[in-house]
Structure 1
């Protein structure tokens, strides 16, 4: 697990774990649907992620919206999933970016909390292999055709990342 402090939000640490080959995605999804407070995480299907920068931009926007009283979803964790989307349809955002029954690679993000207890909880409840949260690992998990379809892009790479982050930032403007 990695703890990330965003420069402008030092009081809101991000605890991030990337898992590959997850076998219990239906269980994790069910915990979210039931509103189980022990599972207040942003569980993201890693196959639609381009980069760390994309994820950190979504986290920044969600935390900033929390602090400004502008959340459009239930909590900061669901807002992270919503912030990954290029449009304002919340249910579509959860379908495209949230953990699904068939998700095999999952990024778990917790805003705040004790890093030791978060790491232990995830280790005990996510049945998969923890790997470093790097662009290289995300690239191995990426479903390029889904990414192209979700963001309506032709080319992949740094240009795609700039377009994706820009479309996330402009949403709702």
Structure 2
């Protein structure tokens, strides 16, 4: 499975977002340590995929981070740490890294790399580096795959959300923190939660 390179709408073509999704990662502790050490070879947004609901969820954070970088509004160290921070519903940067960033216990990992004129990494170079350094199975960056990784109960807790299908409605809990709904009901619940999550991310921006 190859790296996916995405040109986000309304952003310069010179700023490309590269994404790679991995499952069954076995060396998260090593990768986490590289970030803590400030190893420039590991300048990625390394995100625990269990708290990502969809492509839109992740790309909305990437869009905001790149846009803030272009407007000189970064709140964190660089555009990659800003992607992790942009997922947060509040302004606590350290908390956003704990909630959304890679930890030694991470098993499903989303890696995002932004190539820019000042840091023009190619897709081939990024793919080669990730293939070498991440001990895990690279899979398609798709909503269908992400849904198998998402811990909905954790997402609801982080964003302080309760959709009509789950939470405190007395419904029976199902897999990954979902309520005991059928396939159609679960899909509706996920869509509703995604809207609420995106709204929570946007609201933080409006209150900065």
When the two structures are superposed, what TM-score results if normalisation uses the length of structure 1? 0.98
Matched, 1:133 2:166: no
**SS of corresponding position for 1:107:** strand
Structure 1 spans left out of the alignment, 5+ residues = none
Aligned to 1:83: 86
Deviates further, 148-157 or 125-134: 148-157
Say how many residue pairs are matched: 173
Aligned to 2:34: 31
- Rg larger in 1 or in 2? 2
Moved over 4 A (4+): none
Write the mapping of 1:1-150 to structure 2, written as runs, cut at 5 A: 1-9=3-11, 10-112=13-115, 113-150=121-158
Contact 1:25–1:100 (8 Å) recurs in 2: yes
When the two structures are superposed, what TM-score results if normalisation uses the length of structure 2? 0.82
Q: Distance in 1 between matches of 2:5 and 2:138?
A: 14
Contact 1:88–1:172 (8 Å) recurs in 2: no
Q: Report how far residue 163 of structure 1 moved.
A: 0.9
Q: Distance in 1 between matches of 2:131 and 2:18?
A: 13
Structure 2 spans left out of the alignment, 5+ residues = 116-120, 164-188
| Aligned residues: CA RMSD | 0.8
Q: Which has the higher contact order (CA 8 A, sep 6+)?
A: 1
**SS of corresponding position for 2:147:** helix
Can you list the C-alpha shifts for 1:53-80, whole angstroms capped at 9, x where unaligned?
0111100100010001000000000000
